[in-house]
């Protein structure tokens, strides 16, 4: 639940009509929870984020799929509550495409954070290296960060009890994720994924342009290189009629 400040008298119990992006994210997470409920070990091994399997076997899809696998009904419901409560307003302001891209950037950032921390030379990091990280919490923390950036003085009922301005609530969430991560050796829900989602979400919104668009540029370059290989385009070839490059 959120309420508007400084008036303090208008309480908002819902974010308004749900948009197509938020609806699709919620449906996808709930749909994939069904096989996770009946075959949790299989789903967490193949579709959770296990850094060891990603590094040694190249299971790169786990950097995305882990965000759609949840441990139990409360895990998925709480994450989807966050997507609904805070994501609807972001989608209404940005549009479905921009919100979807932001959501997946935060999920990827959280996944890469887990991977990077798991490669550190510490015992706790090794436990994370072989453990399965699951859940949309990293992306949800990014959504919370974006909402706090856009509406910093709105109040959130922290732990459903204490009214705190969004900008301070996000700092509290970040500190809890950081210190919980230091005291945790991994598991199905990694605190460093939460922290990664927060940081990447902030950099995407407020960081330098080169940081915000580096992922999009990398994807564009990869697609262009794939097309060049597919059509066998050679940069050093002879120019054809009209000045264009020969394509073989």
CB 83: neighbour CB atoms within 10 A?
Answer: 23
> Alpha-carbon distance 33 to 44, whole Å?
11
Dump pLDDT digits (tens) for 70-104.
988 988 988 898 899 889 999 999 999 999 999 99
pLDDT number for residue 130: 92
Whole-number pLDDT of residue 244: 37
Residues of the chain with pLDDT under 70: 1-14, 159-160, 174, 176-190, 208-248
pLDDT at 224: 65
What pLDDT score was predicted for residue 248?
Answer: 36
Is domain 2-212 in CATH 1.20.1540.10, yes or no?
Answer: yes
What's the CA angle centered on 176, arms 174 and 181, to 5 degrees?
95
CA distance 65 to 121: 26
Q: Name 36's Cβ contacts closer than 8 Å, sequence gap at least 6.
A: 43, 44, 69, 70, 71, 134
| Entry pTM | 0.74
List 4's β-bridge partners, or say none.
Answer: none
Domain ranges of the chain: 2-212
Q: What is the 3-state secondary structure (H, E, C) of the chain?
A: CEECCCCCCCEECCCCCCCHHHHHHHHHHHHHHHHHHHCHHHHHHHHCECHHHHHHHCCCCHHHHHHHCCCCHHHHHHHHHHHHHHHHHHHHHHCHHHHHHHHHHHHHHHHHHHHHHHCCCCHHHHHHHHCCECCCHHHHHHHHHHHHHHCCCCEEEECCCEEEEHHHHHHHHHHHHHHHHHCCCCCCCCHHHHHHHHHHHHHHHHCCHHHHCHHHHHHHHHHHHHHHHHHCECCCCCECHHHCECEC
Tens digits of residue pLDDT in 40-75 = 999 999 999 999 999 999 999 999 999 999 988 988
């Amino acid at each position: 639940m959120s309420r508007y400040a400084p008036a303090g008298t208008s309480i908002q119990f819902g974010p308004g009509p749900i948009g197509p992006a938020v609806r699709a994210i919620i449906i996808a997470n709930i749909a994939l929870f069904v096989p996770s409920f009946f075959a949790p070990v299989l789903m967490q091994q193949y579709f959770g984020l296990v850094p060891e399997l990603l590094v040694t076997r190249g299971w790169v899809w786990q950097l995305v799929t882990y965000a759609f696998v949840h441990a139990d009904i409360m895990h998925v419901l709480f994450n989807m509550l966050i997507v609904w409560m805070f994501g609807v307003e972001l989608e209404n302001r940005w549009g479905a495409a921009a919100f979807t891209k932001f959501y997946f950037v935060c999920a990827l950032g959280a996944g890469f954070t887990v991977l990077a921390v798991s490669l550190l030379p510490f015992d706790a990091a090794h436990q994370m290296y072989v453990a399965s990280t699951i859940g949309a919490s990293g992306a949800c923390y990014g959504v919370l960060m974006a909402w706090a950036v856009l509406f910093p003085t709105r109040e959130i009922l922290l732990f459903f009890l204490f009214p705190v301005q969004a900008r301070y609530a996000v700092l509290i969430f970040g500190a809890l994720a950081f210190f919980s991560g230091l005291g945790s050796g991994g598991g199905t829900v990694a605190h460093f994924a939460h922290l990664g989602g927060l940081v990447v979400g902030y950099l995407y919104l407020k960081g330098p342009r080169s940081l915000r668009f580096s992922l999009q540029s990398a994807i564009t370059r990869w697609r262009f290189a794939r097309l060049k290989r597919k059509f066998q385009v050679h940069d050093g070839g002879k120019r054809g009629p009209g000045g264009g490059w020969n394509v073989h």
